[in-house]
Amino acid sequence: MRPPLPRAGMRCVLPLLLIVGAAAGAWADDSAVTPTADIGNVSGAEIYGHICQGCHMPQAQGAVGAGHYPKLAGDPALVSWQYVALTVLNGKNGMPAFGLPTDQFEFVFGAVRLSDAQVAEVVNYVRSHFGNNWKGVATASQVAALPHH
């Protein structure tokens, strides 16, 4: 029988076990491992809630910490639906691209690909909520005409 670890040893082992356990839990989470090609027929609000609010925050107030996530609430740059759509499609300043072509998408670890209709949904949602009241509505065919990386 082995003698028990001294208290100092437990202080070192316990954090290590927690880190290993957390890493194993992340690997068990399918969304962290398996690319999700289709999140289904969902509204712009649902897309924002599932994908965007983790960085831009629930009320689109933005955040600063491990990175800089700009606020979308009351953002005058959102006057252009094309600007918002291109940012969602192609990413920007560390934000991932959500409009990768299908042939490239398969090789991006943990990626979420949005269809042109889903991009239009979330663009329209962000431009009409959080204190934004921009006119005009983007359609899936308009988004499809934009360049996708």
pLDDT band at 68 (very low <50, low <70, confident <90, very high): confident
- 29 in the same domain as 97: no
Number of domains, the chain: 2
Cβ neighbors of 47 (< 8 A, separation 6 or more) are 39, 114, 118, 121, 122, 125
- 28 in the same domain as 54: no
pLDDT at residue 132, as a whole number: 94
Residue 149 lies in a domain: no
- 113 in the same domain as 40: yes
* DSSP 8-class letter at 48: I
- 124 in the same domain as 84: yes
Residue 1 lies in a domain: yes
Cβ neighbors of 17 (< 8 A, separation 6 or more) are none
Residue 12 lies in a domain: yes
Question: Among residues 127, 131, 125, which one has the least CA distance to residue 44?
Answer: 125
- The domain in which residue 72 lies consists of 35-144
Residue pLDDT, tens place only, 75-107: 999 999 999 999 999 988 888 888 876 655 555
Q: What DSSP letter does each residue of 72-115 carry, written as one string?
A: -TT-GGGG-HHHHHHHHHH-BTTBPPS---HHHHTTSTT-B---
Per DSSP, the chain holds a count of helices (H) and strands (E) of 8, 2
Task: Give Cα separations from 101 to 11, 34, 111, 133 (angstroms).
Answer: 48, 17, 12, 31
- 106 in the same domain as 57: yes
- 113 in the same domain as 53: yes
pLDDT band at 122 (very low <50, low <70, confident <90, very high): very high
- 83 in the same domain as 135: yes
- 87 in the same domain as 27: no
Q: What is the CATH number of the domain that holds 136?
A: 1.10.760.10
